[in-house]
Amino acid sequence: MARESQGLQIALIIFFMLTIVLAVTTFLYHGRYVEAQKQAQENEQTASDKGRLLAAEKAENGELKRMVGLADKPLGDVKEQFKKDMDTYAANYPEDSRFWSPVLSKMSDTIVDRSKENVALKTNLQDLQQRFAVRESQKDEVIKQLEANTKDAGTKVVQLTSEYAGYRDELAKGQAALTAQMEAIRKAAADKVKTSEVAVKTAQGQVEKFRQEEAALAKDVAKFNRPTIDHPLGEVTWVDQRSATVWINLGRADALDRQTSFSVYSADADDIAKAKKKATIEVTRITGDHSSEARITEDKNSDPITLGDKIFTPLWSPGEHQHFALVGIMNIDGDGRNAVGTVRNLISSNGGQIDCMVDENGNKVGEVTPGTRCVVRGDDPKDSKQTETMSKILRDAERFGARTMTLAELKQQMGYKPGTVADRAPRPTASGAPATSPKPATGGAKTGPAKKAPAKKVPPKTDDDQP
Residue 268 has pLDDT above 70, yes or no: yes
- Comparison of pLDDT for 13 and 411, the residue scoring more: 13
Q: Reply yes or no on whether the pLDDT at 228 is more than 70.
A: no
At residue 308, the pLDDT reads 92
Between residues 61 and 453, the one the model is more confident about: 61
Cβ neighbourhood burial of 28 (10 Å; 0-12, 13-18, 19+): exposed
Cβ contact 413:421 at 8 Å: no
Q: How confident is the model at residue 421, as a pLDDT?
A: 33
**Which pLDDT belongs to residue 440?**
38
Residue 247: band (very low, low, confident or very high) from pLDDT cuts 50, 70, 90: very high
**Cα–Cα distance list, 407 to 91, 153, 291 (Å):** 85, 93, 30
Tell me the pLDDT band of 457, cut-offs 50, 70 and 90: very low
Q: How many CA atoms lie within 13 A of 198 on its CB side?
A: 5
Q: Given pLDDT bands bounded at 50, 70 and 90, which one contains residue 442?
A: very low
DSSP string, 204-253: HHHHHHHHHHHHHHHHHHHHHH-----S--EEEEEEETTTTEEEES--GG
Please check the confidence at residue 309 and state whether its pLDDT lies above 90. Answer: yes
What's the mean pLDDT in 341-351?
Answer: 83
Mean pLDDT of 307-315: 87
pLDDT for 294: 95
DSSP state of 368: -
Residue 356's beta-bridge partner residues? 325, 366
| pTM for the structure as a whole | 0.37
Helix axes 75-89, 100-225, angle to 10 degrees: 30
CB 144 within 8 A of CB 138: no
- Alpha-carbon torsion angle 46, 50, 55, 56, nearest 10: 110
Phi, psi (deg, nearest 5) at residue 74: -70, 165
pLDDT of residue 464 exceeding 70: no
- Buried b / exposed e across 166-203, counting CB within 10 Å, b at 16+? eeeeeeeeeeeeeeeeeeeeeeeeeeeeeeeeeeeeee
Amino acid at 298: E
Which range has the worst mean pLDDT, 133-142, 236-245, 427-436?
427-436
Greater confidence (85 vs 279) lies with 279
Model confidence pLDDT, tens digit, residues 12-54: 889 889 899 888 888 888 888 888 888 888 888 888 888 888 8
User: What pLDDT, in 10s, does the model give residues 89-127?
Assistant: 877 788 777 887 788 777 888 889 888 888 899 898 888
Average pLDDT, the chain: 79
3 state SS for 284-342: EEEEECCEEEEEEEECECCECCCCCCEEECCCEECCEECEEEEECECCCCCCCCCCHHH
pLDDT band for position 429 (50/70/90)? very low
Encoded amino acid at 284, one letter: T
Report residue 300: phi and psi, to 5°: -125, 135
Of 67-81, 116-130, 321-335, 395-409, which gets the smallest average pLDDT? 67-81
Indicate the pLDDT class of residue 283, thresholds 50, 70 and 90: very high
In DSSP terms, which residues pair with 377 in a beta bridge? 327, 406
pLDDT at 238 over 60: yes
Per-residue model confidence (pLDDT) at position 220: 54
Residues with Cβ within 8 Å of 75's Cβ and at least 6 positions away in sequence, in order, are: none
Instruction: Select from 315, 225, 231 the least CA-distant residue to 275.
Output: 231
Residues for the chain: how many in total? Answer: 467
In whole angstroms, what is the distance from residue 378 CA to residue 340 CA? 9
Q: Which helix (H) or strand (E) holds 280?
A: strand 279-288
Residue 196 has pLDDT above 70, yes or no: yes
